[in-house]
Structure 1
């Protein structure tokens, strides 16, 4: 028996903005105003696919231009709706992202291009829900939301999902890492199955594959770079192996040596450490701001504005910003505390060296982090970076300890001798005659 396979044709990549949007002069004008020179690799491949109505999974590192890859086709999708705008109930496009900071950044990108009066609003926790509901009820074309607040509005009946026909799950791997899978699934259940779905991610994990298999229809997968975990080669990676007690002094020496025009992102492992480093920077008269989940939304927004406009040159944060904030011209990323996994490391250092520029990452590495030493060495070697001798020593010591531990676990457990064993009696006989022993 012969099985015939149907191979779906895939739209060819474009090389210029004109090739992608020759039928949409308003978009070409907006791109020209934005002073963009040429599309990025993910945009070259994504635009023809999305403009043809296909579902797509876009895998690319941070800073690759994934956001514009799905925003511009969303505009054209909205403009091409058969139902007149005044007759529609609810938005046509929903973009779901992991954090309020990323939601705000995506909304800025949407408003930046001002295409044919298309409107948008942000939906996220930590602020007054009434204002968000009022904005939705006024009528918007695009809603950009965090999973939690989106679920709240759906449950309360404040959002009509019937007309959503273009769905984006941005930084989907990050949302799964943060435990948002149940909320994402509830959102997907509420949207009609005939939608066009776009999933973007920096990694291609098993959990993400399962999600894509369940909620997309014959998606085209676009991968820029490798599916293996690698760091961007536009970033110089420096690893400082030290004791925990030495880190602070070395860290502030690094900050004092920064050039006046350098913009630094410092990432800490906890809110308490973030606050401590922030206070120390203030005491040393270093122009810094800090951000973490424990701060009020206004404080977080002010910190972002200060680092964006140059009021501050040092941003100290927990990893809430390590993958989702698009802060331009970051020259240095400092991992004050090493992340819990190597995927997080790659995403953190990807906050610099973006848009064709180079950057530098500096990561402190202590004995407490030695479980990641071998993986870090692989990433450094793949990017042709210097591998410190101390890092190799920690990797060898950790591997040796694990090998010894495994050997110890395989040893048979020592037999516990009972009084009956010592006397040479059977257990039954011992039980009957234990008084005589």
Structure 2
């Protein structure tokens, strides 16, 4: 391998390249299109990243002025999620400390101004998500006519039905004579056939033998059939397992991820959520705090299941059964990376047993019948080296990190504050009986004016003195219902008729 490439790998801490790097880098430097497949955590990012950095022409090198559009990007890396795009860009920036290639990250959820300024100043490599890339192309701020190398990271997800239209639009903006490379841990045959339409005589590289499993052998896997109401208790016990450092918990929905993070924080664990309901700054804050060790439990949806590389992740929990075998492989691939060991625990509900059997058969695992497990099961403590006296709460409740705006509950002090007595209001209401004002303390018996209908005071037209000295009618005039119809028929009553009656 070339000395510059070896030095670049050593700068990122790799002294002995993985098989995918040894096989892919020479072919990529030669300009061949390829489809690369390798397990998670085996350095696929640097397999194409080192090749990009070696082939781009920098501003201070000969031949830069001969480019058709100086300052336009020469390499493009497309990623399915913002977190993966940020990590790939960071790895490329670290590997290019000698050549000083200008790497720009573009994704949604952040302002346009820094990205527009960087594009105007000139970049060499652009890493981004499809939505923001197309947006910048539509604004004519990003020119892809000079792209020489195009990489689709996590290609099986990029070429899925949801991303395929955007990917094809981006491919249409690039030159036909480009080098295209696809990398992923899982590459179904249907996706391979679809990708061949966009590649020119691609070479298929698989860095394992046919007998190797898709999952990482260094990851110890456990599959438990657990009840949904008992899962928080089981997770609280596993968080106290022997040798546990950082843990990632994957949930199927955003609401479940937020609820689990709040529950763990209430039990005293340092947990932070990351899901689509959080804005980009909150998601980056949660991931940064998890990397730095300020929180050791990250509860996430599948936005963090693709390509996220955090050192020290010893445990991964599938809080709910994954949808398919690809999701399972990528989730548990967050641990046991780069030769390290890890533990993966999967919870299977009674309704998901059939789905799990399909995943188990597709991956060739030996967990066809999950073990029924509760928080008090003896094998749970034995499997993970948990102290038999471990409880579900380890410390006073902690505030959960990065709760979505508008959904923060009131502080406990506010909820527990005793209710203050409500002051009595002075009301000035008049008591009436059949339209007449009744004096306070007066008997409720009807007056003579009310009992004798022939009395002159009972006539609506005769005034009567009110208790406060004002004259008013003894009985208010009642509104009569009028029939709807035409003409002055018998159904209508005029004011004169009402007075004469």
Deviates more, 1:280-289 or 1:119-128: 280-289
Larger Rg: 2
Distance 2:265 2:226 in 1: 25
Pairs within 5 Å for 1:5-404: 20-22=1-3, 24=4, 27-79=5-57, 83-84=63-64, 88-113=70-95, 114-177=97-160, 179-225=162-208, 230-257=214-241, 259=243, 262-378=245-361, 382=364, 388=370
Partner SS for 2:166: helix
Select between 207-216 and 300-309 the one with higher mean Cα deviation: 207-216
**SS of the residue aligned with 1:355?**
coil
Where does residue 432 of structure 1 map in the other structure? none
Q: CA RMSD in A?
A: 2.3
Q: Taking structure 1 as reference, are residues 232 and 289 closer, same or farther at Cα in structure 2, changes over 3 Å only? A: same
Cα deviation per residue 1:237-256 (whole Å; 9 max; x = unaligned)?
10111222222222222223
Mapped partners of 2:366, 2:350: distance in 1: 24
Count of aligned pairs:
367
Tell me the distance in 2 between the aligned counterparts of 1:279 and 1:74.
42
Change (3 A) 1:37 1:140: same
Matched position secondary structure for 1:266: strand
Q: TM-score, normalised by structure 1?
A: 0.79
Residue 244 to residue 85, structure 1, CA distance change in 2 (3 Å): farther
Distance in 1 between residues matched to 2:190 and 2:167, nearest whole Å: 13
The worse-fitting range, judged by mean Cα deviation, of 159-168 and 204-213 is: 204-213
Q: Secondary structure of 2:196's partner?
A: helix
Tell me if structure 2 keeps the 8 A contact 1:264–1:315: yes
Alpha-carbon deviations, 1:5-50, whole Å to 9, x = none?
Answer: xxxxxxxxxxxxxxx113x3xx443433333221001001001111
CA–CA distance in structure 2, aligned partners of residues 368 and 319 of structure 1: 21
Structure 2 CA distance, aligned partners of 1:377 and 1:324? 23
- For residues 239 and 372 of structure 1, what CA distance do their matches in structure 2 show? 13
TM-score (norm 2): 0.69
> What is the alpha-carbon distance in structure 1 between the residues aligned to residue 113 and residue 191 of structure 2?
33
1:346–1:167 distance in 2 versus 1, CA, 3 Å: same
Instruction: For residue 217 of structure 1, give the secondary structure of its aligned residue in structure 2.
Output: coil
Aligned partners of 1:379 and 1:216: how far apart in 2?
28
CA distance in 1, matches of 2:331, 2:65: 41
- Which structure dedicates a bigger proportion of its chain to helix? 1
Query: Does the 8 Å CA contact 1:306/1:312 hold for their aligned counterparts?
Result: yes
Deviation at residue 356 of structure 1 after TM alignment: 0.6
CA contact under 8 A between 1:237 and 1:385: conserved in structure 2?
Answer: no
Cα distance in 2, alignment partners of residues 377 and 390 from structure 1? 17
Deviation at 1:388, TM superposition (A): 3.6
Change (3 A) 1:215 1:48: same
| Structure 2 unaligned regions, length at least 5 | 374-501
Q: Secondary structure at the match of 1:221?
A: strand
Aligned partners of 1:164 and 1:195 also within 8 Å? yes
Counterpart-to-counterpart distance in 2, 1:112 and 1:328: 16
